[in-house]
Amino acid sequence: MQEVILSAKDVCKSFAHNGGQAHVLSHVDIDIYEKDFTVIMGASGSGKSTLLYALSGMDKATSGSVMYQGKDIVKMKEKELSSLRHTDFGFVFQQMHLVSNLSLFENVAVPGYLNKKKSKAEVDARTNELLDRMDLDKIKSHLPSQASGGEQQRCAIARAVINEPKLLFADEPTGALNRKNTKEVLELLSDLNKQGQSVLMVTHDLKAALRGNRILYIADGNIVGDLRLAPYSKEDEASREAQVNAWLSSMEW
Ligand code: ADP
Ligand code: MG
Strand-pair partners of 30: 8
Nearest listed ligand to the Cα of residue 16: 1
Question: Is residue 152 lining ligand 1, measured as CB closer than 6 Å?
Answer: no
Distance 25 CA to ligand 1 centre (A): 10
pLDDT band at 65 (very low <50, low <70, confident <90, very high): very high
pLDDT band at 196 (very low <50, low <70, confident <90, very high): very high
Q: What is the mean pLDDT of residues 218-236?
A: 95
Ligand 1 atom nearest to CA at 52:
6
Q: Which of 24, 25, 44 to mutate to test the pocket of ligand 1 (most atoms within 8 A of CB)?
A: 24
Strand ranges inside the chain, DSSP E: 4-17, 20-33, 37-41, 63-68, 71-72, 89-92, 167-171, 198-202, 214-219, 222-228
Please state, in angstroms and rounded to a whole number, the distance separating the CA atoms of residues 186 and 182. Answer: 6
Q: What is the mean pLDDT of residues 143-169?
A: 95
Question: Is residue 49 lining ligand 1, measured as CB closer than 6 Å?
Answer: yes
**Minimal-distance CA residue to ligand 1 atom 19:** 50
Please state, in angstroms and rounded to a whole number, the distance separating the CA atoms of residues 95 and 4. Answer: 29
pLDDT per residue as tens digits for the range 67-111: 999 999 999 999 999 989 988 999 999 998 999 999 999 999 999
Q: Which of 14, 26, 40, 49 to mutate to test the pocket of ligand 1 (most atoms within 8 A of CB)?
A: 49
Residue 77, pLDDT score: 95
Rounded to two decimals, the pTM is 0.95
What CA–CA distances, in Å, run from 213 to 23, 34, 94, 136, 198? 29, 12, 21, 28, 11
pLDDT band at 116 (very low <50, low <70, confident <90, very high): confident
